Structure 1
Amino acid sequence: MTVETGPDTEPAPSAAPLLPGPPAVPFPSPGAAPVSALHVSAPPAVPAAAVAASVGPELERILRGPSGLGTAGLALGRWVEPVALPQPSAPVEGVPVPGLYFHPIPEPDPVRVAEVSRRIKDWAVDEVDLFPDEWEGQFDGFSVGRYMVACHPDAPTVDHLMLATRLMVAENAVDDCYCEDHGGSPVGLGSRLLLAHTALDPLHTTPEYAPGWAESLGSDAPRRAYRSAMAYFTELATPSQADRFRHDMARLHLGYLAEAAWAETDHVPEVWEYLAMRQFNNFRPCPTITDSVGGYELPAELHALPATQRVIALAGNATTLVNDLYSYTKELAGPGRHLNLPVVIADREGLSDKEGYLKAVEVHNELMHAFEAEAAALAIASPVPSLLRFLRGVAAWVDGNHYWHQTNTYRYSLPDFW
């Protein structure tokens, strides 16, 4: 396979055309007007009923992203001609969790999926030596190319899609090799995560000790993947976006440590405790970079608004519970006892397995409705183009995440509760 040594390029002109995307929006120049010139203020609290009454078709398009509801109607960011995406079609495989609230999306563009899949495997095999030969089938079965194309429909190029794809694969390598069933263990996890985090957030030390740290970054597959994926990310992302991502990865690693502590003590948390852990051990780093993948930047002052942070947190929480629900039978079949929301609800509230699972569906649905209501309230209060585009991108990520879980029948199957 060809080794990638620099930024990606698009397929050769002879290849089939990729799904057309909007032109990349340039990052602000150092002399650009300060964000304060946008007159952005934290939005007031808006009751859910008032939000529901005031959300019109335009805001609904923002929330639902590329779900076929006239997505060409909003010229967000600096797009000149927003792309008219196709109407959603029935997925070719997979059955959705009955009663789960979600939005269907179109099948991701097969040409982009194939190109991202080719590039990510080249990167994993030739650049970072990510996995032994016997894990190749599992890597292919993860279908990360289809996942990322579905989650980022506004990515202007395959290069931008690859930013998210490498980071997703690297994050899963850390989870599998440090925490889960490919050599993972709760014992000593904190040390491993801390050292891996320095591949994202580099060590600043004296010349005497810097070489030892630099050498350590190539000592195992997760650290090699983190280092390489982050290097590519910082080539296209702004310093603010990179720092934002590092922060969310620290949140993720903190969640890993809480779950590991419970495993070491055989503790089943209260449901609220589990949900607190899941707010950190979740997908949040993925939707938080939706603007980087889209080729624009949500200014730091807008991203830091409490209302924006709440929307991102709700999106991360809801999408992570999608994983709990679709991976339920897979986790039950694995060694040991794996905590997920249905298991914790059943244990702590004295319910049957089926009742625990169905209540977990209700919790997910509540979080999804809260995400959409809060996003609508924020869009009404602060209709800044970059923020509207970011909200739409996060909603698209939410929908694409569900699509991937539903259709990845290689990894997931539903329990026999219906």
Structure 2
Amino acid sequence: MPDPGPSPQSGLPAAAAHFGAYVLANAQAHAASGLDAPPALPGVPAVPGMPGTAGMPAGAVVPADVPAPAAVPTPAAVPTPADVSAPADGAVSSGHPDVLERLLRGPSGVGTAGLYLTERPEPVRPAAPEAAPAGPAAGSPVPGLYHHPVPEPDPARVEEVGRRIKAWAIDEVELYPEEWEEQFDGFSVGRYMVACHPDAPTVEHLMLATRLMVAENAVDDCYCEDHGGSPIGLGGRLLLAHTALDAVHTTKEYQPHWAQSLHSDAPRRAYRSAMEYFVRQSSPSQADRFRHDMARLHLGYLAEGAWAQTDYVPEVWEYLAMRQFNNFRPCPTITDTVGGYELPADLHALPAMQRVIALASNATTIVNDLYSYTKELAGPGRHLNLPVVIAERENASERDAYLKAVEVHNDLMHDFEAEAAALATACPVPSVLRFLRGVSAWVDGNHYWHQTNTYRYSLPDFW
């Protein structure tokens, strides 16, 4: 399979160039002073032409089949920090579109094209109301939704991931009965994951994300929703399933009982197997990060289940709080593992990074609410999603509530891109910049999959 190179980031910051200028200036200062060369920065991948950078972190695991990364040329005509204007308070926000646009556009001097390696599509900004189409065709984006188009995913990779994941689901974990095969195929998980992880160095790296995605959906369907799910007893089921990700450490007498339970139903079999593959190719901190985010996800499942049991429609802010936990966060948070590198734990834990990840995850989850809206309305009972909650709590029509949900998504996206740009400027470490690229690529790929998956989704007739 061809190496796709760095992911085509939708909101690519220019801070990589600033980092190069900073490191070079720092090296020159040390040389002029007669001091030794500056020490390597911990956890920073080596970048040709950038002294003071180290290799991969010691905890990162890179399998033998990973091809060597393409060399990144040293940027020429690199702007200095003084060349980049910023608001008086130092923040980059949607209130300063000129600054944000400059940061997200990325470096443009001679030689900087090598930082991207792929053509970066321009963002699609919401059309003015009078220019909105009469009605979206099948596979069209939600009118007015702020998003970034992505190139069609590599068909060879899509086919191979699809073949491998189906073999895993059927032969290894016996995930679904024969009558669910059409739904499994219609999910198009291979196309989903290839679109979301364009910088994955090998198909096996893509499979790490693909198995986990399929396992998470099995838990959601079988425990919570479509295929026998129920809020009754949900907490106990989720707790036992979570032990397939976060092992139980108990006495010798009871350990075999727990181990046997991991094979007792399809969701637990899928969790156990997917996590075993992931742990073999991730560092301990990456695996622990994922377990933490899965606990967040399960907490969100429990909140939604509790509301379903009491027939409670939350306030809009309460729903959005629940969606910060019951969302896609476990998927973009592993973008470095799937990319074959590691964002060090201390950098991942930065409050600014946590905010960026949360905003990205929240925005992608509202995308799901918008594209699955008609599918959920056609199902039995009342399924909570943002348009439904806005209609109920703000006494709005279905159309007005849906259009307001589009605005909520767009606000989250603008905040995500502004915060990512600010973080890239404040902490221009190569692993941070690559991780931000990866999260943004996941956001874009997630939208692409929802938009184009006409087997599962169709849009309401609100335009």
TM-score higher than 0.5 here?
A: yes
Matched residue, 2:58: 29
Q: How large is the Cα RMSD of the aligned pairs?
A: 2.5
Distance 1:295 1:354 in 2: 44
Q: Equivalent of 2:346, from 294, 298, 301? A: 301
Q: Equivalent of 1:358, from 392, 403, 407? A: 403
Letter in 2 for 1:29: A
Q: Equivalent of 1:165, from 207, 210, 232? A: 210
Q: Within the alignment, does 1:373 sit opposite 2:418 as a pair?
A: yes
Q: Is the 8 A contact 2:92 2:99 kept in 1?
A: no
Distance 1:119 1:195 in 2: 27
Letter in 2 for 1:205: T
Letter in 2 for 1:324: D
Name the SS of the counterpart of 1:268 in structure 2: coil
Q: Equivalent of 2:118, from 84, 91, 110? A: 84
Matched residue, 2:2: 18
Instruction: Please give the per-residue CA displacement for 1:278-321, whole angstroms capped at 9, x wherever unaligned.
Output: 00000000000000000000001110000000000000000000
Matched residue, 1:205: 250
In the TM superposition, what is the alpha-carbon distance from 1:58 to its structure 2 partner? Answer: 6.2
Letter in 2 for 1:161: L
Question: How many equivalent pairs are there?
Answer: 376
Letter in 2 for 1:262: W
- Cα separation, partners in 2 of 1:260 and 1:382, compared to 1, 3 Å: same
Larger radius of gyration: 2
- Cα separation, partners in 2 of 1:51 and 1:386, compared to 1, 3 Å: farther
Distance 2:373 2:421 in 1: 31
Q: Is the 8 A contact 1:341 1:360 kept in 2?
A: yes
Matched residue, 2:41: none
Instruction: Please give the per-residue CA displacement for 1:345-369, whole angstroms capped at 9, x wherever unaligned.
Output: 0000000000110000000000000
Matched-pair identity in % = 75
Distance 1:124 1:27 in 2: 33
Matched residue, 1:14: none
- Cα separation, partners in 2 of 1:169 and 1:137, compared to 1, 3 Å: same
- Cα separation, partners in 2 of 1:207 and 1:141, compared to 1, 3 Å: same
Matched residue, 1:133: 178
Q: Is the 8 A contact 1:94 1:409 kept in 2?
A: yes
Distance 2:325 2:114 in 1: 33
Letter in 1 for 2:118: A
Q: Equivalent of 2:267, from 222, 229, 232? A: 222
In the TM superposition, what is the alpha-carbon distance from 1:87 to its structure 2 partner? Answer: 5.8
Structure 2: tracts of 5 or more residues without a match = 8-44, 46-54, 61-88, 125-136
Name the SS of the counterpart of 2:324 in structure 1: helix
Instruction: Please give the per-residue CA displacement for 1:35-72, whole angstroms capped at 9, x wherever unaligned.
Output: xxxxxxxxx9615167644346564359xxxxxx99x9
Distance 1:88 1:46 in 2: 24
Q: Structure 2 matches for 1:137-286, cutoff 5 A?
A: 137-286=182-331
Q: Structure 2 matches for 1:110-129, cutoff 5 A?
A: 110-129=155-174
Name the SS of the counterpart of 2:151 in structure 1: coil
Q: Is the 8 A contact 1:108 1:150 kept in 2?
A: yes
Distance 2:113 2:283 in 1: 25
Q: Equivalent of 1:391, from 436, 439, 444? A: 436
Name the SS of the counterpart of 2:105 in structure 1: helix
Matched residue, 1:94: 139
Name the SS of the counterpart of 1:192 in structure 2: helix
Q: Is the 8 A contact 1:61 1:392 kept in 2?
A: no
Matched residue, 2:445: 400
Distance 2:94 2:222 in 1: 46
Instruction: Please give the per-residue CA displacement for 1:151-171, whole angstroms capped at 9, x wherever unaligned.
Output: 000001001000000000000
Name the SS of the counterpart of 1:280 in structure 2: coil
Distance 1:59 1:218 in 2: 47
After the TM superposition, which segments of 4 or more aligned residues of structure 1 sit over 6 Å from their partners? none
Distance 1:347 1:49 in 2: 29
- Cα separation, partners in 2 of 1:110 and 1:19, compared to 1, 3 Å: farther
Letter in 1 for 2:2: L
Q: Is the 8 A contact 1:88 1:106 kept in 2?
A: no
- Cα separation, partners in 2 of 1:320 and 1:377, compared to 1, 3 Å: same
Matched residue, 2:388: 343
Q: Is the 8 A contact 2:197 2:441 kept in 1?
A: yes
